Each structure stands twice: as structure tokens, then as C-alpha cells.
Amino acid sequence: MPSLEQSVKSQFEKVFSDSDWKLFKEMAELAFSEAAFLKKSDFNKVAEQKKLLVRNSRKRLLIGVGAELLLKAVYLKAGYCINRPQNERSPLRFPFSPAAAAGVPLNGADTYMLGTLIDHLAGTVTLQHPPVVTEGLRIAKVFRNKEGHVVTATHRFEPQSFRAIEAALVELYADAFRERLTVRFSLAPRERAAWRTAPLT
């Protein structure tokens, strides 16, 4: 008899294939775009003194979720599996292709985690500036983990963290998708937000 968690998890089970990369990328971009343009005024049911806290928390969460979905799109587009083997003792070592996984049952309810995706990215896609990409993605991972687990009333604000994520995304879009990305996660008053892509010529 499956547990309640297993029963709910089974509603979303899927062994993903390379054709799924576009949906992953689309959902990632929705998260990133929302994060870029989110304003304090969007939270009209939040007390004024908490609007900045709530806005920034939501921005970080959206950026972290977007990063994980985007990396999964990168792996799928490059022809790699993102589902883990059902048997943890499987000889398969990530990253692996569907051909390498032939005959090995994959777990439709379990995909590789963001840290693993970041660790193996440089060996999966040719990155022009790997440190730029991995630094920004690691910050996005911290954002996602922090916002998904704890709430702090204050923190030391470092705009450079957001700038590092922007730089990583610009590089990744060029290297993995051959697209020119313009991105700015608006933070300061009157800072103009941006999220748009165009094919690289």
C-alpha cells in the first residue's frame, strides 16, 4: 500500500525525454521573468513595512526554481536523462544518455538535484566561461534552498549576487540555446527590469 506522499507523488511521475526540454525552458522563463518584474506594489495585501521583505523573498525563490528548470532543459536538449535510476546501485553514472540507460529502469518520481546538475554542467555543454556560469547558478541554488526552508526578517543585501546570476544566465543562454538574453532583476527604486531573448546571429 503506497503512503500518502507516494500516492501524491505518483500523480507527477514521468521519465522525461529530450522533447520535454522546451516546456522546462518555458516554465523557467516564466519564473525568471516574474522575478525580474516583481514590485513591492504587487503585494497589495501585505503590510507596507513587509513588502520589501516579501518581494525580495519571492524574487529569490522564483530565481532558484527557474535555475533548476532551466538546467534540466539544458540537459534534456543536449540528449541526457534527468531521471535517476530506480536502483541506486545501478552502474550508470550521471550524466548519461537514453542509449546508455537502455534496459535500466529509471525512476519517474525522482530527478537529479540542482547541485548535481551544476557540478556536471561543464562536461555536458561547452561553456565559454564556466566559472561565471557556475558561480551564478550556485548563488541561485542558495536562494532556492533558503527561501524554501527558512524565513529571516533581515539579511545583508548584496546586489552583486543578483548580478552574478544575471551574468550566468546570459552566458548559459548563449552557450546552450544560441540565444542573446537581456536580463535585469529589478531591485532598487526606479531600476528598470528586463527579460527578453533573441537568436544569436
pLDDT per residue, tens digit, the chain (201 aa), is: 889 998 898 899 999 999 999 999 999 999 999 999 999 999 999 999 999 999 999 999 999 999 999 999 999 999 999 999 999 899 999 999 999 999 999 999 999 999 999 999 999 999 999 999 999 999 999 999 999 999 998 877 788 999 999 999 999 999 999 999 999 999 988 899 999 999 998
Compute CA distances 159 → 66, 67, 156, 165, 185, whole Å: 19, 18, 10, 10, 10
Residue 25 lies in a domain: yes
Residue 27 lies in a domain: yes
Residue 10 lies in a domain: no
State the pLDDT at residue 156: 78
State the pLDDT at residue 88: 87
Residue 113 lies in a domain: yes
Residue 1 lies in a domain: no
Rounded to whole angstroms, how far apart are CA atoms 131 and 133? Answer: 5
User: Quick one: 67 exposed, middle or buried, by C-beta within 10 A (0-12, 13-18, 19+)?
Assistant: buried
State the pLDDT at residue 38: 97
In tens, the pLDDT along 25-46 reads 999 999 999 999 999 999 999 9
Residue 9 lies in a domain: no
Identify which of 199, 198, 166 has the alpha carbon closest to the alpha carbon of residue 184: 166
The boundaries of the domain holding residue 93 are: 15-199
State the pLDDT at residue 141: 98
Prediction pTM value? 0.95
The conformational region for residue 103 under phi > 0 = left, psi -120 to 50 = alpha, else beta, is left
Residue 5 lies in a domain: no
Domain count, the chain: 1
Residue 6 lies in a domain: no
